[in-house]
Amino acid sequence: MKRRINLKQYKKKKNDMNSEEKKSEEMKNVVAEETAENTVEQPTQETNQPKEEGTKKEAEETEKELTPEEQLQAEVDKLTKEQDELKDKYLRLSAEFDNYRKRTMKEKAELILNGGEKTITAILPVIDDLERALATMQKATDVKAVEEGVELIYNKFMQILGQNGVKAIETKEKELDTDFHDAIAIIDAPTKELKGKIIDCVETGYMLNEKVIRHAKVVVGK
Q: Is residue 37 part of a domain?
A: no
Counting runs of H as helices and runs of E as strands, what totals does the chain give? 4, 6
**Is 33 a member of any domain?**
no
Task: Give residue 222's domain range.
Answer: 166-222
Predicted confidence at residue 47, as pLDDT, reads 46
Which pLDDT belongs to residue 29?
Answer: 64
What is the CB neighbour count within 10 angstroms for residue 207?
16
Number of domains in the chain: 3
Residue 139 is given by DSSP the state T
Q: Identify whether residues 177 and 194 lie together within a single domain.
A: yes
The answer as to whether 71 is a domain residue is no
Give the separation between CA 175 and CA 197, rounded to whole angstroms.
Answer: 5
Residues 110 and 134 in one domain: no
101 assigned to some structural domain = yes
Q: pLDDT at position 205, please?
A: 93
Instruction: Provide block-wise average pLDDT over 10 residues at a time, the chain (222 residues).
Output: 48 58 61 54 46 58 71 89 92 92 90 80 91 87 87 92 90 87 88 86 91 92 86
In angstroms, the CA 181 to CA 203 distance is 10
pTM of the predicted model over 0.75: no
CA 75, 78, 83, 84 torsion: positive or negative? positive
Is 70 a domain residue? Answer: no
Asked if residue 218 belongs to a domain, the reply is: yes
